[in-house]
């Protein structure tokens, strides 16, 4: 099976360029992770200022995406990478797009958290949302870790976790509908929570996408439309990954 390898290049400078790119992606990912943690904390603790600061700092994520994208364009134009190296650059371009969108969802949660801080908090202090937020944040962390190590099996494991996130999201949505029917006075607050959990579910999807790019980087196959069962079997047996 063909795999990506960043350690051997005719040009040492080219190798340094690729490593610099990966480092920039991880730096961007680390900042996005930090933003997500702050947004969830702002919601759970009713911290309006923290929520607003998360929203206002989203421009930094956008700036990182633009800078990395420009560097990728430069490498494509000047180095003409092929095979595994080209896959790395393509995967990076796709990854930073998903990281930027995670940043956008974090910005949304930050704004909502700042609004919810002015409302009466529920008795459970958003316990279920906090739990979902932790699961999603862990997915983001694990996807970046798989990216850093170019670990396709770790990436697949994280992709599989998205199903649990989706199930928890659907459960919270049903709870929210019940709350609104039982107490119409809670509709405004509960609607805000529904937007938060929707944003968290989307973040889980973006983390899943990043993991799929890792598998593409390592094995050279787009697995977005391949069943998880097939991908798992073929990774385990070291067979080429094929779509059906």
Q: Say if residue 6's pLDDT is above 90.
A: no
* pLDDT tens digits along 184-201: 988 999 999 999 999 999
What is the signed CA dihedral for 210, 212, 213, 215, rounded to 10 degrees? 130
CA distances (Å), origin 113, targets 37, 83, 138, 188: 12, 45, 20, 13
Tell me how crowded residue 174 is: count the other CB atoms within 10 A of its CB: 10
**Range name among 22-26, 28-32, 94-98, 118-122 with the lowest pLDDT average:** 118-122
CATH code reported for the domain at 12-237: 1.20.58.220
Q: Where are the domains of the chain?
A: 12-237
pLDDT at 122: 81
Query: What gap in Å lies between CA 145 and CA 61, rounded to an integer?
Result: 19
Q: Tokens 């968290």 belong to which residue?
A: 200
pLDDT recorded at residue 244: 40
pLDDT band at 230 (very low <50, low <70, confident <90, very high): low
Q: Taking residues 25-37, what's their average pLDDT?
A: 97
Calpha distance 47→32 (Å, rounded): 19
Give the residue carrying structure tokens 């279920």: 128
Of the candidates 217, 207, 213, 215, the one whose C-alpha atom is nearest the C-alpha of residue 103 is: 207
Task: Grade residue 228 by pLDDT with cuts at 50, 70 and 90.
Answer: low
Q: pLDDT tens, 61-74?
A: 999 999 999 999 99
Residue pair 206/98 in contact by the 8 Å Cβ criterion: yes
Backbone angles phi, psi at 186, to 5 degrees: -90, 0
Q: How far apart are CA 77 and CA 67, in angstroms?
A: 16
pLDDT digits (tens, 9 = 90+) for 81-104: 888 889 999 999 999 999 999 999
Whether residue 120 has pLDDT greater than 80? yes
**Residue 21 CB contacts under 8 Å (≥ 6 apart), including other chains:** 68, 71, 72, 75, 88, 89, 92
**Looking at residue 219, what is its pLDDT?**
83
Task: Tell whether the model's pLDDT for residue 2 goes beyond 80.
Answer: no
Q: Per-residue pLDDT for 172 more than 90?
A: yes
pLDDT exceeds cutoff 90 at 111: yes
């Amino acid at each position: 099976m063909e795999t990506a390898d960043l350690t051997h290049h005719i040009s040492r400078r080219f190798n340094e360029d690729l490593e610099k790119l990966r480092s920039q992606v991880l730096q961007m990912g680390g900042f996005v992770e930090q933003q997500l943690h702050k947004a969830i904390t702002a919601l759970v603790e009713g911290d309006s200022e923290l929520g607003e600061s998360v929203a206002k700092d989203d421009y930094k994520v956008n700036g990182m995406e633009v800078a990395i994208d420009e560097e990728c364009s430069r490498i494509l134009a000047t180095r003409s990478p092929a095979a595994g190296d080209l896959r790395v650059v393509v995967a990076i371009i796709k990854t930073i797009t998903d990281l930027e969108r995670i940043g956008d969802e974090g910005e949304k949660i930050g704004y909502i958290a700042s609004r919810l801080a002015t409302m009466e908090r529920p008795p459970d202090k958003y316990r279920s949302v906090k739990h979902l937020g932790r699961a999603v944040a862990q997915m983001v962390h694990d996807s970046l870790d798989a990216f850093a190590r170019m670990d396709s099996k770790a990436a697949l494991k994280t992709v599989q976790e998205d199903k649990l996130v989706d199930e928890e999201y659907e459960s919270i949505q049903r709870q929210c509908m019940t709350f609104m029917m039982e107490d119409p006075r809670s509709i405004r607050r509960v609607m805000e929570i529904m937007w938060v959990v929707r944003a968290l579910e989307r973040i889980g999807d973006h983390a899943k996408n990043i993991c799929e790019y890792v598998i593409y980087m390592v094995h050279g196959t787009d697995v977005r439309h391949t069943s998880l069962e097939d991908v798992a079997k073929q990774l385990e047996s070291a067979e080429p990954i094929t779509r059906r």
